[in-house]
Chains A and B, each alone.
Chain A
Amino acid sequence: KAGVTQTPRYLIKTRGQQVTLSCSPISGHRSVSWYQQTPGQGLQFLFEYFSETQRNKGNFPGRFSGRQFSNSRSEMNVSTLELGDSALYLCASSFDSSSGANVLTFGAGSRLTVL
């Protein structure tokens, strides 16, 4: 079956712009999580959506937001981009992460560069 698909894979924006990233989970997976990966900070949790509801949220400013659609596809948006937002944004899906036995399956990521 198809894996987790993230689009776009690469994008370049300038400071002050906004960006929307998309994630299509594995078919049947209802939980989608987003992570920011940078060389200095490692992997940081942004938020998790389950059945169109945000279930968990990391410690990021309100410029970072997300949503999930009825087909479990998810988008995240970053407004008023800053240089420090340059990172690899990873999406991961699972059937239901509330069960510890479920694993996260990651997409290849969207690499955002802010100039």
Chain B
Amino acid sequence: GNSVTQMEGPVTLSEEAFLTINCTYTATGYPSLFWYVQYPGEGLQLLLKATKADDKGSNKGFEATYRKETTSFHLEKGSVQVSDSAVYFCAGVLGGNQFYFGTGTSLTVIP
């Protein structure tokens, strides 16, 4: 069935380290893919999106490329900051009009 699977956390990095959070999906067709971020005490905010294969979404130094051949949408950032500490969710519109979310990956960046 349709699903989104993302890397388990928690992830702890030092400031300025490189970040990768893996995300893969299972679906038929060509889903739209998203990364959302949730800061403590808040709802989810859209971080970036890609709607077709080979699209690259980017925002605030984060990037993710829609790879149809590997059904992946990994999130990357070259140099994380303490303010990036949050929970990151991969999501996709799979099998029609329903959003599917991954389980979330908690990131803590230490100075």
Contact = CB atoms under 8 A, between A and B. Distances in A.
Interface stretch (A13-21, A62-70, A78-86, A97-105): A97-105
Interface in B34-87: 34, 36, 41-46, 49, 51
A100 B93 contact: yes
Nearest to B102: A42
A72 interface: no
Interface residues of B, number: 24
Contacts of A101: 32, 51
Contacts of B49: 103
Interface residues of A, number: 24
Contact of B32 (A90, A100, A107): A100
A97 B103 contact: no
A35 B101 CA distance: 10
Given A45-B101, A103-B34, 4 more contacts: A48-B98, A100-B31, A100-B93, A103-B46
